[in-house]
Amino acid sequence: MTTPRQRLGVNIDHVATLRNARGSAYPDPVRAALIAEAAGADGITAHLREDRRHIRDADIDALMDALSVPLNFEMAATAEMQAIALRHKPHAICLVPEKREERTTEGGLDVAGDANRLTGYIAALTEAGSRVSLFIGHDARQIEAAARVGAPVIELHTGAYCDFVADGQAEAAAQELAGLLAGVALASELGLEVHAGHGLSYATVAPFAATPQIRELNIGHFLISEAVFMGLDPAIREMRRLMDAARV
Ligand code: PXP
């Protein structure tokens, strides 16, 4: 049986981080998105944070106009973001938890604890034509809640695994990976499409690329960082090569 090709979503948030560091007009995240498309990205991911620390409203307008591949719009489940999403109707929406003081999205969404509100919230986005995914940890309670609130997709948070690998904590990394793969199996049994992302690099992508039920990976910070040294196009092509190699 052949395994379907895993999609690669390239997150261009940190091109905007660099731009905003100097208040300049460059580097332009839309230009990065077009390079990513040409390098084989199957989608572009952008997170409009409440504090607009990287991507801004005008970037989302420009990305919606410029892209040929689908936009995966990451956002907190707030009323403000819902209104923006309903105006743009992006192909995909990934709901993430957001805390102003965090450096990046640190944990998964508490779907189980906010299930009643999320059910209606997700239904409105789904009715508008967007495919909603929930960014969660591999806790079975959260995965089961994701299925109950009517989201067709979950994205599993790979950040802790990547941190353990980077810190040389092999045992903790193996345990975290086992938890993630059990989460993939449970979600698939429940009929959810599974994506994964956060912190992935050339060194950590293989086990997720090799897992047939994971249909999409979303990768940003590492690719933009590599682009500083080798350029964005080759950085993305190398990730694509490693994903395909692991998939075989
Ligand atoms: N997926 C989600 C839901 C995210 O919030 C992020 C970070 O914005 C990513 C993937 C990409 O993470 P990274 O930039 O660490 O590759």
Q: How far apart are CA 53 and CA 79, in angstroms?
A: 19
Position 103 scores a pLDDT of: 74
How many angstroms separate the Cα of 195 from the Cα of each of 31, 218, 233? 25, 8, 23
156, two tokens: 């599993």
Position 2 scores a pLDDT of: 63
pLDDT (tens place) for every residue of the chain, 248 residues total = 567 899 999 999 999 999 999 999 999 999 999 999 999 999 999 999 999 999 999 999 999 999 999 999 999 999 999 999 999 999 999 999 997 677 777 789 999 999 999 999 999 999 999 999 999 999 999 999 999 999 999 999 999 999 999 999 999 999 999 999 999 999 999 999 999 999 999 999 999 999 999 999 999 999 999 999 999 999 999 999 999 999 98
Q: How far apart are CA 28 and CA 25, in angstroms?
A: 7
How many angstroms separate the Cα of 229 from the Cα of each of 29, 148, 159, 237? 18, 44, 23, 14
198 is catalytic: yes
47 is catalytic: yes
Task: Give the residues across from 193 on adjacent strands.
Answer: 153
Position 3 scores a pLDDT of: 75
Q: What is the CATH number of domain 7-247?
A: 3.20.20.70
Domain boundaries, the chain: 7-247
**DSSP code of residue 113:** G
Backbone angles phi, psi at 82, to 5 degrees: -60, -40
Query: Is this model's pTM higher than 0.95 or not?
Result: yes
Strand (E) or helix (H) holding 15: helix 13-22
**CB under 6 Å to ligand 1: residues?**
11, 13, 47, 74, 94, 96, 104-105, 135, 155, 197-200, 218-222
Task: Give the residues across from 43 on adjacent strands.
Answer: 9
Ligand 1: nearest atom to the Cα of 219: 16
SS3 121: helix
Rg, Å, the chain Cα set: 17
**Are the C-beta atoms of residues 158 and 120 closer than 8 Å to each other?**
no
Position 202 scores a pLDDT of: 98
Which listed residue (14, 54, 157, 198) is catalytic?
A: 198
Q: How far apart are CA 211 and CA 27, in angstroms?
A: 35
Buried b or exposed e, range 49-85, using 16+ CB within 10 angstroms: beeeebbbeebbebbeeebebbbbbbbbbeeebbebb
DSSP states along 171-209:
HHHHHHHHHHHHHHHHHHHTT-EEEEESS--TTTSHHHH
Q: How far apart are CA 42 and CA 37, in angstroms?
A: 7
Which of 218, 221, 224, 225, when mutated, tests ligand 1's pocket best, judged by the most ligand atoms within 8 Å of its CB? 218
Cis peptide before 207 (omega within 30 of 0): no
